[in-house]
């Protein structure tokens, strides 16, 4: 078996992004070996059979629907110089062994792994088949509180003080492009692990590359790659943004009066939420807290988070009924807001629309 990391349509690829072919020119092949698959136009991905995975210890949970983001990690292992396929497959096996035997997970945590040699591999079983199907994904174990909504990609190496190899980065762009196409995600929905959990992952250097990564993916799939920017709220703050935060905390189970005042009760609820989601537990609502607190909302949704959106729309001068039910009136209000904010007017309150509402 020879998982070939080269594109199946090199002519089209070279038009879209010449840099993509770095290091792979000698491996061009139109026939995929056993154990390797790719979505249309996507990179070759070696499945769990190809690298010799153990069976999962429990059935994999296949989730209906598509994820709403991609989260980038580094493995925090050595920056090896063996770029072979054998080394890649050995990495995949050792990660699975560690995660099952030492972490007691049912299988590899992440959906996909990219080796230093730029080999792309399936992590958790069924990640590849569900990606190819484009309508389901598998529950994972790579980012606390995001494992049912986020595709996780581990990049072999430690990128705190050095960048990934250009070949590895190119494979990452290609894999995420394919994930976005299969699941209908946008380039700005690419995040780093540290956007959600109290961790250094994916390292300062790889994290600093994420804006470029979003731009490189957007160059292939279109759209504005600018990600959400969140306000920092702390004790003593007040106003509509604090109300939004409070509504979201209530949505996540807090018992809290929504009064627009960031007092001790709000601070305590923020800290509890941060602990639950493995964010930095400092009682200050910043990037991690907001990123963990918001979920996409669309017509048919109901609850406190919907109330938050409606209250924000009213505060922005868009008259909607504040009743916690996301009906046609709310959808129309969201669309109006998105138009005024130069966002894609799809009527869905995703993280970027949330961030603009509280900006
Ligand atoms: Zn990570």
Residues with CB under 5 A from ligand 1 (ion): 73, 193, 201
**Tens of pLDDT, residues 220-273:** 999 999 999 999 999 999 999 999 999 999 999 999 999 999 999 999 999 999
**Tens of pLDDT, residues 27-43:** 444 567 889 999 988 99
Percent of the chain residues past pLDDT 70, beyond the cut:
91
Gap from CA of 143 to ligand 1 centroid (Å): 7
Of 252, 158, 231, 162, which Cα lies nearest the Cα of 199?
Answer: 158
Gap from CA of 88 to ligand 1 centroid (Å): 18
Paired with 154 in beta bridges are: 73, 113
Q: Any idea which of 11-15, 25-29, 78-82, 334-338 has the lowest mean pLDDT? A: 11-15
Q: Which residues contact 15 (CB under 8 A, 6 or more apart)?
A: none
Of 48, 38, 64, 62, which Cα lies nearest the Cα of 140?
Answer: 62
Gap from CA of 128 to ligand 1 centroid (Å): 20
pLDDT(121) > 70: yes
Mean pLDDT of 164-181: 98
CA angle, 242 then 244 then 248, to 5°: 115
Count other C-beta atoms under 10 Å from residue 232's C-beta: 11
Q: Which residues contact 301 (CB under 8 A, 6 or more apart)?
A: 326
Gap from CA of 191 to ligand 1 centroid (Å): 11
pLDDT(178) > 90: yes
Gap from CA of 107 to ligand 1 centroid (Å): 16
Mean pLDDT of 83-98: 98
Residue 196 near residue 210, CB atoms below 8 Å: no
* The predicted structure's pLDDT at residue 32: 78
**Tens of pLDDT, residues 145-168:** 999 999 999 999 999 999 999 999
Bond prior to 202 in cis (omega within 30° of 0): yes
* The predicted structure's pLDDT at residue 26: 35
Gap from CA of 311 to ligand 1 centroid (Å): 35
Between CA 146 and CA 79 the distance in angstroms is 27
Gap from CA of 298 to ligand 1 centroid (Å): 29
Model confidence at 16, pLDDT cuts 50, 70, 90, reads very low
Helix axis angle for 304-315 and 240-251, nearest 10°, is: 170
**Mean pLDDT of all residues belonging to the chain:** 92
Gap from CA of 357 to ligand 1 centroid (Å): 29
Task: State which H helix or E strand residue 138 sits in.
Answer: strand 136-138
Gap from CA of 116 to ligand 1 centroid (Å): 16
Between CA 304 and CA 356 the distance in angstroms is 18
Gap from CA of 195 to ligand 1 centroid (Å): 10
pTM here is: 0.90
Between CA 32 and CA 11 the distance in angstroms is 18
* The predicted structure's pLDDT at residue 19: 31
* The predicted structure's pLDDT at residue 20: 33
Between CA 2 and CA 294 the distance in angstroms is 42
Gap from CA of 71 to ligand 1 centroid (Å): 8
Gap from CA of 153 to ligand 1 centroid (Å): 9
**Tens of pLDDT, residues 313-356:** 999 999 999 999 999 999 999 999 999 999 999 999 999 999 99
**Tens of pLDDT, residues 207-219:** 999 999 999 999 9
DSSP string, 30-61: SSPPTTEE--TT---EE-HHHHTPPPPSS---
Mean pLDDT of 58-72: 98
């Amino acid at each position: 078996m020879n998982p070939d990391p080269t594109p199946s349509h090199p002519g089209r690829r070279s038009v879209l992004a010449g840099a993509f072919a770095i290091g792979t020119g000698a491996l061009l092949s139109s026939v995929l070996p056993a154990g390797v698959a790719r979505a249309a136009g996507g990179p070759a991905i070696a499945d769990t059979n190809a690298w010799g995975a153990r069976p999962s210890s429990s059935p994999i949970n296949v989730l209906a629907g598509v994820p709403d983001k991609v989260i980038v990690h580094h493995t925090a292992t050595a920056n090896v110089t063996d770029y072979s396929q054998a080394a890649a497959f050995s990495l995949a096996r050792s990660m699975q062994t560690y995660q099952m035997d030492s972490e007691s997970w049912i299988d590899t945590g992440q959906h996909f792994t990219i080796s230093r040699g730029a080999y792309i591999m399936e992590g958790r079983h069924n990640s590849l088949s569900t990606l190819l199907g484009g309508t389901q994904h598998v529950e994972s174990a790579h980012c606390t509180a995001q494992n049912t909504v986020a595709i996780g990609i581990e990049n072999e190496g430690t990128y705190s003080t050095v960048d990934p190899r250009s070949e590895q980065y190119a494979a990452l762009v290609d894999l995420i492009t394919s994930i976005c196409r299969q699941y209908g995600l946008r380039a700005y929905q690419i995040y780093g692990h540290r956007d959600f959990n109290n961790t250094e992952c994916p390292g300062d250097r790889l994290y600093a590359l994420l804006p470029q990564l979003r731009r490189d993916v957007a160059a292939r799939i279109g759209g504005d790659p600018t990600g959400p920017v969140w306000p920092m709220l702390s004790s003593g703050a007040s106003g509509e943004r604090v109300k939004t935060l409070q509504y979201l905390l209530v949505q996540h189970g807090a018992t809290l009066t929504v009064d627009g005042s960031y007092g001790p009760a709000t601070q305590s609820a923020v800290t509890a939420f941060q602990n639950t989601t493995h964010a930095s537990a400092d009682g200050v609502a910043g990037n991690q807290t907001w990123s963990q607190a918001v979920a996409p909302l669309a017509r048919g949704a109901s609850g406190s988070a919907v109330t938050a959106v409606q209250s924000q729309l009213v505060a922005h001068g868009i008259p909607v009924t504040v009743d916690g039910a996301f009906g046609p009136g709310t959808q129309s209000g969201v669309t109006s807001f998105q138009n005024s904010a130069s966002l894609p007017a799809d009527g869905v309150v995703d993280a970027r629309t949330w961030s603009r509402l509280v900006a």
